[in-house]
Chain A
Amino acid sequence: GEDVEQSLFLSVREGDSSVINCTYTDSSSTYLYWYKQEPGAGLQLLTYIFSNMDMKQDQRLTVLLNKKDKHLSLRIADTQTGDSAIYFCAETFGGSYIPTFGRGTSLIVHP
């Protein structure tokens, strides 16, 4: 069945790199996504990666995909206090573009 798992919390110091991890169970995943949710707000699409890729970089964000281990990670370089939020990993399957979300990782950035 479909299942996306994430650790619930991550605490980092400002200026350090953050790495948020996600595992998924369905090998037929088509796209994998990272969304950001700030307090009281909706979800903001940060980036996504097609399942036949293993890396995507976009400014401070680096997404790594290990298909063998069904593991996805999001690295945020030079983490800032404004990066404090909940980060959701999500996947879609086959021809469906309905993402299945994990429970989210709460990133806390402290000075």
Chain B
Amino acid sequence: EAGAAQSPRYKIIEKRQSVAFWCNPISGHATLYWYQQILGQGPKLLIQFQNNGVVDDSQLPKDRFSAERLKGVDSTLKIQPAKLEDSAVYLCASSLLASGSDTQYFGPGTRLTVL
């Protein structure tokens, strides 16, 4: 099954600039996840939505990162202002249920480079 759709695929910005990423999950998937994957590491959860409500944002650096999922479908993740250490791939995933035991389907990710 194809995964979530994401855009843009690549983004290069300078530190202190802002950036936004977009995700469209698989139709009918109530749960949406944003992960950060730094080179050589596994994905790390940033935020999880169930419909348009936040389930877990404990690892989201809220001083600079924000995310929303209006209407319970598409989601945007924003970074403002960006730091060098934010350079990573930002992956969006979705699942039918809000359970860690449910298979997650990932999008191709947005590769962010902060200069």
* Chain B associates with chain A: no
